[in-house]
């Protein structure tokens, strides 16, 4: 069960039944049929498309002075390290 926010009021079982009954009597609040549910369900994956060869996270131990020089080049230093290694090993 998800964590509830402070001061969240959970209805009693009787109150929950009363709310459900009132919702079912409301002509504008009809429950969806199974056919309507299937149509409303998303059929595509949302978000960024997956890469064919995604990068992998690794742990690399470097000397403090080497790391300081790399970080001093600014944001994106990991990408630059990747480029340096690609160039060095002619990939």
Q: Among 45, 59, 55, which Cα is nearest to 83's?
A: 55
Domain assignment of residue 8, yes or no: no
Domain assignment of residue 22, yes or no: yes
Per-residue pLDDT at 1 exceeds 70: no
Instruction: Write out pLDDT tens, residues 17-54.
Output: 999 899 888 988 877 888 888 888 777 777 888 899 99
Domain assignment of residue 65, yes or no: yes
58 Cβ contact partners less than 8 Å away, ≥ 6 residues apart? none
Domain assignment of residue 29, yes or no: yes
- Give the number of domains in the chain: 1
Which pair of structure tokens corresponds to residue 78? Answer: 């990991």
Per-residue pLDDT at 72 exceeds 70: yes
Q: The domain containing residue 81 runs over which residues?
A: 13-40+55-88
Distance CA 13, CA 21 (A): 12
């Amino acid at each position: 069960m998800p964590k509830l926010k402070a001061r969240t009021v959970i209805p009693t079982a009787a109150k929950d039944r009363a709310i459900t009954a009132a919702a079912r009597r409301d002509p504008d609040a009809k429950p969806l049929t199974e056919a309507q549910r299937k149509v409303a369900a998303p059929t595509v994956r949302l978000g960024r498309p997956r890469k064919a060869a995604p990068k992998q996270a690794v742990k690399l131990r470097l000397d403090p002075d080497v790391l300081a020089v790399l970080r001093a080049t600014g944001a994106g230093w990991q990408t630059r390290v990747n480029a340096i290694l690609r160039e060095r090993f002619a990939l």
